[in-house]
Chains A and B, each alone.
Chain A
Amino acid sequence: MNLEKNILGRLVPTEINGEKAVPFQGVGKYKPEGRRYAHKITSNRDYPSDGNKQVASLKEALIKSGLKDGMTISSHHHFRNGDLIMNQVFDIAKELGVKGLRWFPSASFPCHEHLIQYLEDGTISHIEGSMNGALGRYTSEGKMSKMAVLRSHGGRYQAVQDGEVEIDIAIIGAGTADPFGNANGLYGDSASGLLGFALADSEYADKVIVVTDNMVPFPCVPWQIQGNNVDFTVKVDKVGEPEKIVSGTTQITKSPDRLLLAEMTAKFCDVTGLIKEGFSFQTGAGGTSLAVSDYFSKIMKEKNIKARFARGGSNKYLVRMLEEGQIDYILDGQTFDLDGVRSMAENPRHTWTSPFTSYNYHSKGNFADLVDIVILGATEVDVNFNANVVTHSDGYLLHGIGGWQNCLFSKTVILPIPLFRDRIPVIMDEVTTICGPGELIDVIVTERGIAINPLRKDLIEAVKGSGLPIKTIQELKDEAEAICGVPDKPVLGDKIVAAIKWVDGTVIDCVREVKK
């Protein structure tokens, strides 16, 4: 295999599963030319004139879509760990004796552990999407026959738009749909809020199948997915397990350490003037992130400050801020709890977005750039602020990228992370896998001190006299090692098990096989 050092000094493959791959060249450097990919031209005369595209079963839809060896099957992850569809799709593929499929989900979840048997028997050749839990472990141990590819949400859109990935069949599970194919995630037992992650799939795939357990007569409004892009519709008993799709109610962490991190983060944003009239933010839905939103809310109340918009994943805390008038709009990419779903359905100021509007590289600008403060996580950060979100320090690939890379383009990127987790330092000389270049990461908040990227002279100046414990990232690293010891690096094999794409489609790093 040919390898080349990219601009960050990481040795990456120049070919992935037989296709040419471009090494990362720097932020905003790679601009492919040509025209966007498009699926084959269709004619509406080929579709039922009564608008009824419903077929009897998922199996029939797959057969009619021409499922065959080597195809690319895509899906979205709005049903999260409650997805009941994709396992069935590959059960059917197995039954039909189809081989060598590429699965192209916007993310996988632990519920998809079921698919390991199909990676074993060759029904699925490989996965291009996030690899969580058991699938990640399987991939890390070099058992997948082809190389996995991990992309950000925006990178997935980019790959579809510029033809890097051609989708043969898109499977779109929906909370509600009509027989024509209009669909949304707002209503039904399996309401997921929105279906933005399936938008590219619906527009670019050759065949599009909408699956729902709540089929309503035409028209299903609003049509987050337009029926005009849909080939077949299927009604099943159950598309998802509601309690695993959205949580009944998200909860702020009770951990005193995490609350401290959140409080320090909010205080940092306050004293540096980042929280100001008309600002915007995105915090995510982890326990710490929710607490950050809540601290923001308190500061904004005290100072009578309003935010123009917040980006979701929405949750009850964000919804409360919207309803109390602390933020004008929620621009939502995915809803995390029932309050989020309810708010999205009834509040016109709670609007849905997609990776196209928010994150896409080939769009004419995107929303992520416009956000003032974004709060993200990381498994590791190096002394140059390069960060990792996909692998652990033992070399295992256990997480997807999600929107993480895309959010790095926001004006100020803050990572509140513990200095060490169960003796494993989070800050080190070199991260296991680089997912985001340090030039885009501004602040690391740990319980033992805050490090500001030297590139952000404005923040270094603004924080002076605040009493916050500002340290250099090297000092934080040394402090972690003084407590934990200096960790040994994992012994990795030569085999590359996964490529990590940057938002523009270039290869920023790769993951190597873990030797047991």
Chain B
Amino acid sequence: MNIAKAGSLDTKTRSDCEVQIELKQSGGINIDLKSKVDVMFGKANRQLINDVLKHFEIENANITITDKGALPFVIAARIEAAIVQLLKTEKSYLLDVIEPNKTITKKDQFRFSRLYLPGNSPSMMLNAGVHNPNGVILDLEDAVAPDKKHEARYIVRNALRSVNFYGAERMVRINQGEKGLEDLEYIAAHNVNLILIPKCESAEEIRKIDKKIDELRKKHNFDYPIWYMPIIESAMGVEKAFEIATASKNVSSMAIGLEDFTADLGVRRTNEATESLYARTRIVNACKAARIQPIDSVFSDVSDMEGLAKNVQTSKSLGFEGMGCIHPRQIQVIMENFAPETVEIEKAQKIVRAFNEAKEKGLGVVSLGTKMIDAPVVKRAETTINLAIKLGLLEENWIKN
């Protein structure tokens, strides 16, 4: 085989391109570039194409590109995805990592909302960050068609380096099993913050990922943290939840996926979700016991904002600390409803004030009115306050005002 393709366009596709490469024995490089932005970026694009080919030491090839305003990271990813089908190489064509994508994240940072983005659809990634989710999930699993999984890896890798997500945690959902471990080779060394592990059923799977990432750390010489969020999507997963949650110090949170879970139970998924109540509370309990964040399943009706709000309120009352989003408009609703209510914040302020006063006076016992306040109550109040500050609901120096 000496012809390969990557990328696919339909009439609605924007910010993407389609590449076909034919390797030749002679004749040099022939570029046939059709681009809707040719006047503005034709020169830059031709230079990029030549650069990539040179990097892979290709000297004779016919390359045909149809471009609909793809950014350089997309064009480079598509060309590379085509090239690697034709020749064996250890090389990667990497664009510089932009400064905002060098940030690391904390194990316990807020993960209220995380926006799913199909890994092979770059156009949806470009503006994802401006909707202000806590995290973006570049999805290599269910949102990518089986025959596109390979090329999606290059898009996701390049996006991790080049797309500004404006402070959102950079997450990738890998595939199950062996394929997932292979996915790690494409993303672990490229500033990913968190890995979602789908259909997780055993601690062993987590340990395999730990091992793989350790190998990659040595190979590529990086040491930033990479957190894991296993997704529990089966009856077996629910039974093993605590084991999974404690399988590695890198497990920061654990999510439940209700579509697959209800299918596994052989029941219908309903809005009331009584069929998954046990599983959800079990997950919450396992997470709390392991001191990690329990994360709820996505709400699939993107037009029903009221239903979503109700769903988030239930979620919060069960102890969940976040939820996936499949549409940017869900983010705000999720954030608002996970956020502490005004009365909660006010109560927390009173508790923290009382605690501080008691400390100043050297009192061993804190009381508010006639009620004694225990240490965990103070801790919870502090968590609420921190959350409120972070969400802009409370000023940072509230205690002075």
Residues of B within 8 A of A448 (CB): 130
Q: Indicate if the CB atoms of A488 and B39 lie closer than 8 Å.
A: yes
A393: Cβ under 8 A from any B Cβ: yes
- Counting chain A residues whose Cβ lies within 8 A of the other chain, the interface size class is 20 to 34
Q: Indicate if the CB atoms of B41 and A447 lie closer than 8 Å.
A: no
Interface residues of A (CB under 8 A from B): 256-257, 259-260, 393-395, 421-424, 447-448, 467, 483-485, 487-488, 490-491
B218: Cβ under 8 A from any A Cβ: no
Q: Indicate if the CB atoms of A488 and B329 lie closer than 8 Å.
A: no
B399: Cβ under 8 A from any A Cβ: no
| B residues 94-110 in Cβ contact with A at 8 Å | none
Cα distance, A309 to B329, chains bound together (Å): 30
Cα distance, A424 to B44, chains bound together (Å): 13
B202: Cβ under 8 A from any A Cβ: no
CB distance from A264 to the nearest CB of B (A): 10
Contact of A485 among B14, B38, B41, B68 (CB under 8 A): B41
- CB 8 Å contact bits of B35-56 with A (1 = contact, 0 = none): 0111111111000000000000
Number of A-B contacts (CB under 8 A): 60
Closest-by-CB residue of A relative to B115 is A256
- Counting chain B residues whose Cβ lies within 8 A of the other chain, the interface size class is 20 to 34
Cα distance, A491 to B130, chains bound together (Å): 34
Residues of A within 8 A of B42 (CB): 488
Q: Could you list 9 A-B pairs, sorted by A, with CB under 8 Å?
A: A256-B327, A257-B127, A393-B40, A423-B37, A447-B127, A485-B41, A485-B44, A488-B40, A491-B39
Contact of B40 among A257, A260, A424, A447 (CB under 8 A): A424
B240: Cβ under 8 A from any A Cβ: no
B131: Cβ under 8 A from any A Cβ: yes
B69: Cβ under 8 A from any A Cβ: yes
Closest-by-CB residue of B relative to A421 is B69
Cα distance, A260 to B332, chains bound together (Å): 11
Q: Indicate if the CB atoms of B392 and A467 lie closer than 8 Å.
A: yes
B230: Cβ under 8 A from any A Cβ: no
Interface residues of B (CB under 8 A from A): 14-15, 36-44, 68-72, 126-127, 130-131, 164, 327-329, 392
Cα distance, A3 to B392, chains bound together (Å): 56
Residues of A within 8 A of B39 (CB): 393-395, 488, 490-491
Cα distance, A448 to B165, chains bound together (Å): 11
5 pairs of A and B residues whose beta carbons are closest in the complex: A422-B69, A487-B40, A256-B328, A394-B39, A423-B69
Cα distance, A401 to B39, chains bound together (Å): 24
Q: Indicate if the CB atoms of A256 and B329 lie closer than 8 Å.
A: yes
Max chain A C-beta neighbours (<10 A), residue from B14, B40, B44, B127: B40
CB distance from B301 to the nearest CB of A (A): 14
CB distance from A418 to the nearest CB of B (A): 8
Other A-B pairs beyond A393-B40, A487-B41, 4, CB < 8 Å: A423-B41, A423-B70, A424-B37, A488-B43
CB distance from A395 to the nearest CB of B (A): 7
Residues of B within 8 A of A484 (CB): 41, 71
Known: A256-B327, A256-B328, A447-B127. A422 touches B41 (CB 8 A): no
Closest-by-CB residue of B relative to A467 is B392
Residues of B within 8 A of A422 (CB): 14-15, 36-37, 68-69
